[in-house]
Structure 1
Amino acid sequence: MAKWTAFPRLGEYQFDAASVAREWHRLHAGDAEPLPSDARVLQAWVLFHNGEFEHAVEAGLAAGDTGINVANKAACIYANYLEKKEKVRLAIFQEAAQRAHLRAAEHPDDPAAWYWQAYALGRYSQGISVAKALAQGLGSRVKEALERTIALQPRHADAHIALGAFHAEVIDKVGGLIGGMTYGAKKDTGLKMFQQALHLHPRSPIALIEYANGLVMLEGEGKLKEATRLYEQAAALEPCDAMERLDVELARAELAT
């Protein structure tokens, strides 16, 4: 494995098993992940929330089948925010998607398995271009996996965000008519997904960011003012862990440019 870039604020978050368990509902308001009973998996989550993403992947994989979801989340968040080499980023997403695919095949009732498959494929698609990914059939796989996630866990706010982004990006790239007829992408559904995500998790910086982006893609530049307001809300939030710190700093960086 290539050397991973360290979380820039390593040491800022000092969770241990007890504090992660105590703050579990807040830390997992986005993914509705159940508190693990395996101490090894809980320790992998401790590493994740502290921003030790590489070690979280290693610990999750070492814990076996029940650690796959934390390993995939740590890998995907790392690749999305911190990995500088595009080739490595895409490889990490592909590996996470494959692990999640196998997990979903063995545990089809696990919403996280479907979600991380969709997330990894979605970010991979953005990396190779959404148009190319749609031509390869990845769009349908992402949409179906996200819909499966929500059917299994209706309170999975992050899946609502990602499904909203799917509808927005497809319509933005191929237009409403082709997007609807070929890929089932609909403007009203996309907006509804973003709004539901914020209803489920109103203090989610990534929900605010993605909603802002989706509004402009779906409604046009007339929504720039509202999108800026959403970015400002995201930038003003107090992050609860390393992942949210990366989300908030993304919003602040966008506002500064």
Structure 2
Amino acid sequence: MARWIAFPYDSAEYTYDAATLKKRWVRLHAGDAEPLPKDDKVLAAWVLYHAGEFQKATEAGLKAGAAGITVANKAQAIYANYLEKSEKTKLALFMEVVERAEVQAAAEPKNANAHYLMAYALGRYSQGISVAKALAQGLGSKVKNALETAIKLQPKHADAHIALGAFHAEVIDKVGSLLGRTQGASKDTGLAMYKTALELNPTSAIAMIEYANGLVMLEGDKKMKQAEKLYADAAACVAMDAMERLDVEMAKAELED
């Protein structure tokens, strides 16, 4: 595995030991509703993930066997999305996650995060190759079905609601509401998904950022003020781990533009 780019901020505040991670688990996993792992090796991989050691977390998760696939997939997907500079490498990393998550979902059909992480990685891959091209390849329905499955399995999965909101918004933004309907995309459903995500995880910077993006895509300039307020709220969030820090920094960067 080629050397990954290091997390660019001080991770001291996000470096938990196993006991502290267990205490903060519910707050740290308010987005993905992942159950606390029983396996110490998997918990250790999550410690690495939350501290921004994404490559080590991926490797540790894979070494831990089937129980570690979720942390490996999440660490790799988050790294690819936020830190990888090469577009080619990023797409390859996403597709590795998609393949592993598909195998995991087949083996554990009731594992909500197997479906969610497959959809997340495939959704980001689709954005990378262009949403229109991804829709033509039939990837849109795969993403939508996997997210709907994740939500059916775990109704409190805030991140799956965010991603499904983004699916509806992106499709309508790229192909229009008429063509979007053929892909099962609806403005009202998209907006409802974002709202539910924020109700489930009210301190989530990424929920605020994605909702802001979705509002502009679905409603246009008339929602710009509300979108800016959401970005300001996201920038003011207190990050509890490396991924949350990356979200907060992204919101700050957006406000400066």
Question: If the length of structure 1 is used for normalisation, what is the TM-score?
Answer: 0.99
Kept in 2, the 8 Å contact 1:161–1:194? The answer is yes
Which residue number corresponds to residue 52 of structure 1? 53
Residues 179-214 of structure 1: per-residue CA shift (max 9 Å, x gap)? 01x100000000000000000000000000000000
Deviation at 1:89, TM superposition (A): 0.3
Mapped partners of 1:207, 1:218: distance in 2? 16
TM-superposed deviation, 1:16: 1.1
Residue aligned with 1:32, SS: coil
- Kindly tell me the number of residue pairs found equivalent between the two proteins: 256
1:3 and 2:3 are equivalent in the alignment = yes
How do 1:114-153 residues align onto structure 2 when only pairs under 5 Å count?
Answer: 114-153=115-154
3-state DSSP class of the match of 2:179? helix
Q: Do structure 1's residue 84 and structure 2's residue 85 form an aligned pair?
A: yes
2:159 maps to 1:158: yes
Give the CA RMSD over aligned residues.
Answer: 0.6
Query: How is 1:225-240 mapped onto 2 (pairs within 5 angstroms)?
Result: 225-240=225-240
Q: CA deviation at 1:10?
A: 4.3
Checking the alignment, whether the CA contact within 8 Å between 1:10 and 1:50 is kept in structure 2 is no
Deviations 1:99-120 (A, max 9, x none): 0000001110100000000000
Conservation of the 8 A alpha-carbon contact between 1:10 and 1:52: no
Amino acid of the residue matched to residue 197 of structure 2?
Answer: A
Cα deviation for residue 11 of structure 1 reads 3.3
Give the direction of change, closer, same or farther, for the CA distance of 1:53–1:10 in structure 2 (3 Å limit): farther
SS in structure 2 opposite 1:15?
A: coil
The answer to whether the 8 A contact 1:10-1:51 is kept is: no
Residues 161-176 of structure 1 mapped to structure 2, 5 A cutoff:
161-176=162-177
Which whole-Å CA distance do the structure 2 matches of 1:193 and 1:67 have between them? 29
Is contact 2:11-2:242 (8 Å) kept? Answer: no
Q: Which consecutive unaligned segments of at least 5 residues does structure 2 have? A: none
- Equivalent residue for 2:71? 70
Q: 1:152: Cα distance to partner?
A: 0.2
Please report how far the alpha carbon of residue 221 of structure 1 lies from its aligned counterpart in structure 2 after TM superposition: 1.0
1:98 aligns with 2:71: no
Taking structure 2 as the reference length, the TM-score comes to: 0.99
Q: Which residue of structure 1 aligns with residue 40 of structure 2?
A: 39
Structure 1 residue runs of 5 or longer lacking an equivalent are: none
Q: Report the AA paired with residue 247 of structure 1.
A: D
